[in-house]
Every structure is written in structure tokens, then in C-alpha cells.
């Protein structure tokens, strides 16, 4: 979904609560009947989620093994792995997949470094810090469609200020950023970074504020340079936060749709055709529901594989 | 004074200006596009078409705003967006409140399942959910229907609202409920008079966040709404983009600004909670 929709919350219960609550809870009036009461309270939320979220998802996965098409009274039959053998030979899809990976990794990595830099600055006692902080949060509240419209203005070949600036310093200022084969994907990635800065910055800043100040002081007295303190104290302390936020960013970016749909609609010539846009066209423009669902399945498997290896390697190096 | 701190002040004299340069670069990168959108909204078509456009508009011209409201049917779209967002917010708040309480207070298997689902629902691409959902909604006649959109938004924002709200419930000490129960108050009364008032800030934050998500949403609306009269604001604006000429850039910018205001205002109200309260989970991870 849209990047604005997400706030960062990595569900973890603080340890102290767990210990504190177990002993106390049974005392609260009527709570020993906990199990049934809990189900009753959860039911109003559970029913719609199961009906319109769990069920469609299961259905969607199954649909990937059928030849379902749009339109009424279409007989749907299971065709096993036909969709996938067809997908294997679909160069357009794999090209879109490659673009999707470049986009997702490009945005996530750039976003991380930009956000880390900003978070480090915001953690210092600088003037104008409030302004940077406020500005860094604005993209979070903006609808992605409007972020895209705004950047279309910025990147407009004739009216846009970016070309205007290039012209004023004597460079060729007639670049069609979103329409040119070589610049479209990089331009779209820059917009993706802009749009996703808030969550990453805020999370990293919260992480930084939890890094022990005593350790820093002790290291400073021992004569460690700023860089060495950053490398040996800040970074290791920040590690869980970094792993969590880059994982989420990667998923969100890989699944993002609205921003690029409005910016380029996948053009020029499919240069920015993210897998989500490709599958959307397949399903709702050409009506190949089964085939599009199969693409969705492939996307899940590959992103899940990436996450598995990333999280496992992080868990391992944390243990060692 | 030790040598270490002396060295520290010396290096600070060099790094401070660099830090300000970097901060300024961030401010320009983050702020300039917003400023430019604002400026464009006030420019006349002549200024927009000029081969050598001036940076600032010559006068404070609000024609773009009035023209955009008329042309793009902005009022109707805003009405649709408002209807969908408000109804979604009310439903989500009402059904997530008891569920959040149960998740926070009872340690059953539910909690694990709910957490698992919230995380899992993030990974799946929406294309997998939207096709069957489209088919189901078509069967029950909720395609091209704002209630259908409300249904989808409710389901889609529920996991997050639930998680956010149960965090606030955890923050209300269970001892308060015990004290109330000992004084002979009924369970319902304890919840209404003790827990609910303490949850108020959390409820406000959760509902505003739900409102913003629904107000900003684009993908589901694109698939589920085809009737132009039922379009929400993001849909209307996205259609506007295709038809824009150089002349209409001002109107587009004006419409975009107007459409951003509600989310921006609500976000400003809750951002402190979002950034402090919610992040505590992330930090301890």
C-alpha cells in the first residue's frame, strides 16, 4: 500500500511488563474467565479481517494456479504450474522484476544513508534543527499521489526548477527527467527516497537517543575519535533498529505503487515498470486474473527469500 | 581540562560548520519541493508558460484555487474522501477498542496470532489481495460503491490500529482496574470510568492515523471505483495529471495543496505521539 499508511512499529513487548503482568492479572474482577472473554472482545475485529483479508489472501494464492480471467461466467480451472512456466519465458515480467529490485534496493539503501545522516544531525544541538525535523516529517502525512504530482512539477522539462537551475549554471537544462530512458529510473528513485525519509529518520533518531551517553563519554576521555566512537559504540547499539527498519523499508518499497503510477505509469518504454504496476496492468487492463496472481506469488516468494537470508545473516552475526 | 576534551573542542570548531552545511542541504532537499508546489499554486498561466519563469509569483493570485475546485470537481471528490475516511475511522475505532483491550490484557494464543498476522500482512503484495477482493465485492455488489471502499479500508487499517491501541492499553496500569473492582464497581463500569478516560489520547491518535491512511489511499480506490462521481481525492488528482498542460500546472498544484491540508493538520496533532510512543517498541527490539 501507500508508504504514508505505515508507521513504524516493530511489535515487541518490553520485558518488565511481561513479568509484572502474569502474577497480577488473575486478581482483576472476572478475568479468570479470560479465554472466552478475550474471544468475544476480539470477534468484531476478527470477522471482517478473516472475511475480507485472510480469505481473499488465501484465495489469491490459489488463484495463481488457475486460468481465471475477468468477466462474468468464466469457467475457472486449475492449470497447475502452467502460469509459472509461461512466466519463466515472459521477458517483460523478468525485466519488470529486475527494475523492481533496482528500485527497492536503490531506494532502501539511499534512504537508509540519507536518513542516518539526518538522524545524526538532528541528534546534535544545532540551530534550525526544528525546521529540518518538521520538514522531514511532512512526506509522511502527504498522500503519495500528491508527492508524485509535486515531483512532476520539480522535474518538468520546461517549467521545472531543476532544469532551470542547470540552465542558470550553464549546463544543458532541457532534460526530460521522467521521459528519458536513462534518467527515468534514477529520477523515480530520488522521489522514492524523499517520500520514505520520515519513517526511517524517526526510527533511527529514536534509536540514537537510546545509545548510552556514558559509553560515549568514556570513549571520548580515552581519546577515541568521533568516527571511532560512531563505528564502535553507536553503530553496534543501533543495529537492531537498523535491521528492523531496512527490512520494513525493503518490503514497503518493493510493494509500492501509487508514487510511480502517477509519476511515470511505468514509462518510458517500461523503464520504470515496477512489478506491482506490471501485475496491475495484467489483471485490470488485460483481465488475466490468474496470471497476475501468479506474478504476485512469485513476488512473495522472492521477497520472502531475501528477507530470510538477510534476517538470518543478521541474527548470526549478532550471536557471534 | 584533559587533553581529550581540548581535542574535542578543537575538532568541533572544524566539524560544526560542516554539520550546518549538511543540515542546510537536507533542509533544501526536503523543503524546496514543498515551497515550489506552494509557489506554483499562486502563479498565473502566463507566468507558468513564460520561457524564462521567475521564481516567485508576481502577485498573490488565487484563481488557480477557484478554477481547480470547479474543474476537477474537487468538492465532490473531497466529499467522497471525507465520507469514506470518517466512516472507516469510526468503524475501526469501535471494533478495535475491545479487541485491543483483549490483546493487551489477556495472554492467550490470540496475541501471538494477531502479531503474526500484522507482520505477515505487510509482506504480501496487494495484487494478491485485490484480485479476489475485487471478485468478492463484485458478487455482493460493492464495486463502484463507497461502502465497498469503507469495508476494504477498515480491514486494511485494522491490524495497525489494533496494534497501536493495544500499546496504549498496556500503558494503563492493571492495578487501577483491580482497585476499581475491589471497590465493587462492575467490570463495565471499571472500563468506562477508569480505563476509557486514560485511553482517550491513544484513541485520538489511533483514529487520526486511520483517517490519514484512508484519506491518502490510492491503490484500492483505483481498482474499486470507476464511476467519476464516486472518485476520492487521490483518484481525481491522478486523473487530472494525465490531462495537464503547461497552463494547468497552477491548478494542479492548488488542488494538491488543498487535498493535503486535512492529513497535514491531523498529522501535526499526533506526530509527537507517533514518533515517541510507537517508536519505543522499535527501540527496545
Q: Is A219's pLDDT higher than 80?
A: yes
Q: Is A108's pLDDT higher than 70?
A: yes
Which pLDDT score, from 0 to 100, does residue A306 have? 86
Q: Please tell me whether residue B54 adopts helix, strand or coil conformation.
A: coil
Q: Are B270 and B204 in contact (CB under 8 A)?
A: yes
Contact A197 B30 (CB under 8 A): yes
Output A80 or A302, whichever has higher pLDDT: A302
The Cα–Cα gap between A236 and A115 comes to 17
Contact A63 B36 (CB under 8 A): no
Which pLDDT score, from 0 to 100, does residue B127 have? 85
Q: Is A12's pLDDT higher than 70?
A: no
Number of Cβ within a 10 Å radius of residue B212:
27
Contact B125 A300 (CB under 8 A): yes
Chain A segment 81-110 residues within 8 A of B by beta carbon are none
What's the gap between Cα A78 and its chain centre?
A: 33
Contact B174 A276 (CB under 8 A): no
> pLDDT tens digit string along A239-254?
888 988 898 899 889 8
Instruction: Find the Cα–Cα–Cα–Cα dihedral B160, B94, A49, B87, rounded to 10°.
Output: -90
Q: Measured on CA atoms in the order B124, A178, B33, B86, is the torsion positive or negative?
A: negative
Query: What mean pLDDT comes out for the span B140-155?
Result: 91
Q: Which CATH superfamily is domain A81-319 in?
A: MetI-like (1.10.3720.10)
Chain B residues touching A114 at Cβ < 8 A: 26
Q: How far is CA B279 from CA A198, A207, A212, B167, in A?
A: 13, 9, 17, 11
Chain B segment 49-88 residues within 8 A of A by beta carbon are 51, 53, 55
pLDDT-based confidence at residue B154 (cuts at 50, 70, 90): very high
* Smallest Cα distance from A182 to chain B, Å: 22
Which pLDDT score, from 0 to 100, does residue B86 have? 95
Contact B212 A4 (CB under 8 A): yes
> Residue A47 class from Cβ within 10 Å (0-12 exposed, 13-18 middle, 19+ buried)?
exposed
**Domain ranges for chain A:** 81-319
* Smallest Cα distance from B222 to chain A, Å: 10
Q: What is the mean pLDDT of chain A?
A: 82
Which pLDDT score, from 0 to 100, does residue A259 have? 93
Chain B residues touching A161 at Cβ < 8 A: 32, 36, 55
| Whole-number percent of chain A with pLDDT over 90 | 28
Q: Is A309's pLDDT higher than 70?
A: yes
> pLDDT tens digit string along B15-25?
888 899 999 99
Q: Are B121 and A50 in contact (CB under 8 A)?
A: no
* Smallest Cα distance from B52 to chain A, Å: 9
Best A153, A222, A260, A282 residue to mutate vs chain B (most B CBs within 10 Å):
A153
| Ordered DSSP codes for B159-210 | HHHHHHHHHHHHHS-HHHHHHHHHTT--HHHHIIIIIHHHHHHHHHHHHHHH
Which pLDDT score, from 0 to 100, does residue B152 have? 92
Task: For residue B96, give the nearest of A24, A45, A57 by CB distance.
Answer: A45
Task: For residue B279, give the nearest of A2, A145, A206 by CB distance.
Answer: A206
The verdict on B284 touching A (C-beta cutoff 8 Å) is yes
Contact B95 A44 (CB under 8 A): yes
The verdict on A263 touching B (C-beta cutoff 8 Å) is no
Output B42 or B185, whichever has higher pLDDT: B42
Among chain B residues, CA nearest to A225: B8
Q: Which CATH superfamily is domain B72-284 in?
A: MetI-like (1.10.3720.10)
Amino acid at each position: 500500500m501507500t508508504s504514508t499508511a505505515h508507521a513504524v512499529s516493530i511489535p515487541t513487548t518490553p520485558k518488565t511488563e511481561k513479568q509484572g503482568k502474569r502474577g497480577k492479572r488473575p486478581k482483576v474482577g472476572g478475568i479468570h474467565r479470560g479465554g472466552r472473554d478475550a474471544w468475544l472482545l476480539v470477534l468484531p475485529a476478527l470477522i471482517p479481517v478473516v472475511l475480507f483479508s485472510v480469505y481473499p489472501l488465501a484465495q489469491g494464492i490459489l488463484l495463481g494456479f488457475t486460468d481465471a480471467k475477468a468477466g462474468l461466467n468464466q469457467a475457472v480451472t486449475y492449470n497447475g504450474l502452467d502460469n509459472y512456466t509461461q512466466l519463466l519465458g515472459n521477458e517483460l515480467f523478468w525485466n519488470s522484476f529486475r527494475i523492481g529490485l533496482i528500485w527497492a534496493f536503490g531506494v532502501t539503501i539511499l534512504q537508509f544513508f540519507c536518513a542516518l545522516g539526518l538522524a545524526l544531525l538532528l541528534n546534535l544541538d544545532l540551530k534550525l534543527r526544528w525546521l529540518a525535523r518538521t520538514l522531514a516529517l511532512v512526506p509522511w502525512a502527504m498522500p503519495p499521489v500528491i508527492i508524485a504530482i509535486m515531483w512532476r512539477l520539480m522535474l518538468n522539462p520546461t517549467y521545472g526548477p531543476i532544469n532551470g537551475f542547470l540552465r542558470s549554471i550553464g549546463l544543458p537544462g532541457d532534460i526530460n527527467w521522467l521521459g528519458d530512458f536513462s534518467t527515468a529510473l534514477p529520477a523515480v528513485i530520488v522521489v522514492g527516497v524523499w517520500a520514505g525519509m520520515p519513517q526511517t529518520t524517526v526510527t533511527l533518531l529514536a534509536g540514537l537517543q537510546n545509545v548510552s551517553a556514558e559509553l560515549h563519554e568514556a570513549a571520548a576521555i580515552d581519546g577515541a575519535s568521533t568516527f571511532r566512537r560512531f563505528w564502535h559504540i553507536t553503530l553496534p547499539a543501533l543495529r537492531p533498529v537498523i535491521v528492523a527498519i531496512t527490512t520494513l523499508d525493503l518490503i514497503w518499497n518493493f510493494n509500492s505503487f501509487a508514487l510511480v503510477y502517477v509519476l511515470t505509469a511505468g514509462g518510458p518504454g517500461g523503464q520504470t515498470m515496477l512489478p506491482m504496476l506490471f501485475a496491475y496492468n495484467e489483471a485490470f487492463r488485460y483481465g488475466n486474473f490468474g496470471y497476475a496472481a501468479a506474478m504476485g506469488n512469485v513476488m512473495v516468494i522472492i521477497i520472502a527469500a531475501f528477507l530470510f537470508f538477510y534476517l538470518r545473516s543478521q541474527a548470526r552475526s549478532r550471536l557471534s | 581540562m584533559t587533553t581529550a576534551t581540548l581535542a574535542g573542542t578543537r575538532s568541533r570548531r572544524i566539524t560544526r560548520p560542516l554539520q550546518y552545511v549538511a543540515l542546510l542541504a537536507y533542509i533544501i532537499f526536503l523543503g524546496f519541493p514543498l515551497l515550489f508546489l506552494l509557489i506554483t499554486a499562486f502563479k498565473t498561466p502566463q507566468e507558468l508558460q513564460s520561457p524564462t519563469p521567475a521564481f516567485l509569483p508576481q502577485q498573490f493570485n488565487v484563481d488557480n484555487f477557484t478554477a481547480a475546485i470547479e474543474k476537477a470537481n474537487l468538492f465532490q471528490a473531497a466529499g467522497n474522501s471525507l465520507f469514506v475516511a470518517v466512516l472507516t475511522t469510526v468503524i475501526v475505532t469501535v471494533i478495535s477498542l475491545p479487541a485491543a483491550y483483549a490483546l493487551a490484557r489477556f495472554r492467550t494464543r490470540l496475541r501471538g496470532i494477531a502479531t503474526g498476522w500484522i507482520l505477515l500482512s505487510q509482506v504480501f503484495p496487494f495484487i494478491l489481495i485485490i484480485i479476489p477482493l475485487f471478485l468478492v465485492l463484485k458478487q455482493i455488489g460493492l464495486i463502484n460503491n463507497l461502502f465497498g471502499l469503507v469495508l476494504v479500508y477498515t480491514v486494511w487499517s485494522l491490524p495497525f490500529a489494533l496494534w497501536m491501541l493495544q500499546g496504549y492499553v498496556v500503558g494503563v496500569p492493571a492495578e487501577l482496574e483491580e482497585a476499581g473492582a475491589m471497590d465493587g464497581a462492575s467490570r463495565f463500569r471499571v472500563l468506562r470510568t477508569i480505563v476509557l478516560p486514560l485511553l482517550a489520547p491513544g484513541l485520538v491518535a489511533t483514529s487520526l492515523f486511520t483517517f490519514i491512511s484512508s484519506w491518502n489511499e490510492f491503490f484500492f480506490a483505483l481498482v474499486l471505483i470507476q464511476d467519476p462521481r464516486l472518485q476520492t481525492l487521490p483518484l481525481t488528482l491522478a486523473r487530472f495529471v494525465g490531462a495537464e498542460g503547461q497552463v494547468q500546472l497552477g491548478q494542479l498544484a492548488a488542488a494538491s495543496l488543498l487535498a493535503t491540508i486535512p492529513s497535514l493538520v491531523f498529522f501535526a496533532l499526533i506526530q509527537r505521539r507517533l514518533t515517541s510512543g510507537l517508536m519505543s517498541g522499535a527501540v527496545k527490539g
